[in-house]
Structure 1
Amino acid sequence: MTTVPALRTAGEADIDNVADLIADSFDHIDVIHFLVPDPDLRRPVTRDWYRLYVEHAIGGAGQVVMTADGAAAAVWFDRTGAPSEPEDYDKRLAELAGEHLDHFQHLDRQMEARHPTDPHWHLLFLAVRPDRWSQGLGSALMDHTHARLDAEGVPAYLEATSEQNRKLYRRHGYTDMIPPVIEVSAVAHLYRMWRPTQNH
């Protein structure tokens, strides 16, 4: 019997810790390898990129929910109205990405072109510290926000990063969209998934 972890809403003091957590848990993902092929540069560059979005969500564009022990976090964005981007995004992205800027811009274009237009909440990052994988932390974080979204009648959307993740998300009510795949590169794919409101 897995104990459901204590959860809390992240605040400004958590921004750097959540960015570090995402960097630790996403290092193996094909899309992240596409963004920064050099393994020595990958973590510092992508960590600063994650931080932009964590800061933006916590600043009012969405919500970040995390386990009380900091081992897992979910970064959500409210897309029930007009979408927004982090402050000074283009300038800050150019500064952090450096020679990899075209890769980040390519990913942004691919994701935004295929983003659903119906009102929803977007789960951009679901991160669990690698030594805590397969302990139900990601599921607990999703269940927490899904319960609120269901009560409000709001669907959810995400881009899965692997076939294994697609299986997890299907268990939480997500289904493949048409077309399902965002081909970021020849070997790096994202999978568009939509979760209609669930009636419990």
Structure 2
Amino acid sequence: MSTTPRVRAMRPADLAEAAELLADAFVEDTNLASFVPARGRRARLRRFFAVTGEVEMLTHGVADVAVADDGAHERLLAVAWWHPPQGPGAPASRAWSWHELPSAVAVFGVRRLVAAARSRLASERARPATEHWHLAYLASRPEPAARGAATALLEHRLAQADAQGVGSHLESSSQGTVGFYERRGWRVTGPVRGPGGRRTTAMWRPAGGARQ
């Protein structure tokens, strides 16, 4: 069996597995998880990522997966979801579309929905005004077979950004991942303050990566 990660576009058939992987990665100690009730949190996050993947990423975004070939089958090792560069006249920031709102209520609950929406809009406002790639979500399986899969996904899409001469932006809600991104050319640009004292770390990578 080959465990060398192979990067390809995410397909609709990958969505359930990708949503489960992302839910497992974001279920603890993340900004997103802090808005989701503890009871049934993993299942709620699976629903969140399944709907976001279908309504947003497979339609308007760019979704990549890293897979390992196991004979005639593939196993998903990591997933990266991006918003591609948008020029002038792009739609205004919004929390969720009408298609996503019923799911958002089910995921966050009525009491936490407003705070989750405020956090999402704060993140939108923190994005640079210039054209850029936005890394929305990145996750990989916590196992030896997935080693290097997340890096392969980043290198795949950043090569395109570099060729375009376009930078990339992300927010990290975990200090543990800041160094990972810094080693790949991002630099901290400041905190993004959300409701209830929450904060994430905004990071920017110019085309070609930040120089030391």
Match of 1:88 in 2: 99
Match of 1:64 in 2: 63
Distance 1:17 1:87 in 2: 25
CA distance 1:167–1:184, shift in 2 (3 Å): same
2:175 maps to 1:170: no
Distance 2:9 2:173 in 1: 24
Q: Which amino acid aligns with 2:28?
A: H
CA distance 1:22–1:133, shift in 2 (3 Å): farther
CA distance 1:134–1:161, shift in 2 (3 Å): farther
Distance 1:26 1:166 in 2: 15
TM norm structure 1: 0.85
The CA RMSD measured in Å over matched residues stands at: 2.4
The answer (yes or no) to whether the contact 2:15–2:53 under 8 Å persists in 1 is: yes
Q: Structure 1 or 2: larger helix share?
A: 1
TM norm structure 2: 0.80
- Could you say which structure has the larger radius of gyration? 2
Stretches of structure 2 that go unaligned for 5 or more consecutive residues are 68-74
Q: Deviations over 1:27-62 (max 9, x none)?
A: 122313311242x22112222222232222122x12
Match of 2:191 in 1: 181
Distance 2:166 2:145 in 1: 28
Of 68, 77, 83, 2:83 maps to 77
**TM-aligned CA deviation for residue 136 of structure 1:** 1.9
Compare 139-148 and 89-98 and name the one that shifted more. Answer: 89-98
Match of 2:14 in 1: 14
Match of 2:204 in 1: 194
**TM-aligned CA deviation for residue 13 of structure 1:** 1.3
